[in-house]
Amino acid sequence: MKDAFLMVTTPDLPGHEIEKCLGVVWGEAVININVFREALSTITEILGARSRPFESRLKAARTIALNEMILQAAKRDANAIVGLHFTHETPRGSMIMVVASGTAVRAKGPSVDTSSDKSAETEQNNGDAS
């Protein structure tokens, strides 16, 4: 589903026209962090290595938040999201909350809406053949 949407952190889509702003959309995910894993991650970071289990869980939370945001945008008949922004917070010591937010828009342009251009080409070519 992500492939159907253009998503950018900027307020506009270069090379595309925004036909309609459809409102703010967001998605949230909260992950629990095991205290033992967190301590192990700290030791790992001190030694100069990355904490793969923690990074993996954080990436999963971002994906969940992003997918929820896309579902909201799709319900509004959007095909793009502008102003994409991620926020990470720790509401409790053992939890991390990831929020993805942006503005759902209906846009047209070369990589968003090519079906109408192709059908116009087909009609023009069919008209030339007769």
Return the pLDDT at 119. 36
| Structure confidence by residue, pLDDT tens digits, 91-123 | 777 788 999 999 999 999 876 543 444 333 333
Lowest average pLDDT, out of 29-33, 37-41, 63-67, 93-97, goes to 37-41
Which is more confident, 129 or 80?
80
- Among candidates 68, 61, 51, 63, which has minimal Cα distance to 98? 61
Return the pLDDT at 35. 53
pTM over 0.75: no
- Among candidates 60, 53, 62, which has minimal Cα distance to 101? 62
- Among candidates 78, 97, 95, which has minimal Cα distance to 87? 97
- Assess if CATH 3.40.190.10 describes domain 2-129: no
DSSP state of 100: E
Strand order in the sheet with 80-89: 6-7, 80-89, 95-108, 17-32
Using an 8 Å Cβ cutoff, are 42 and 93 in contact?
no
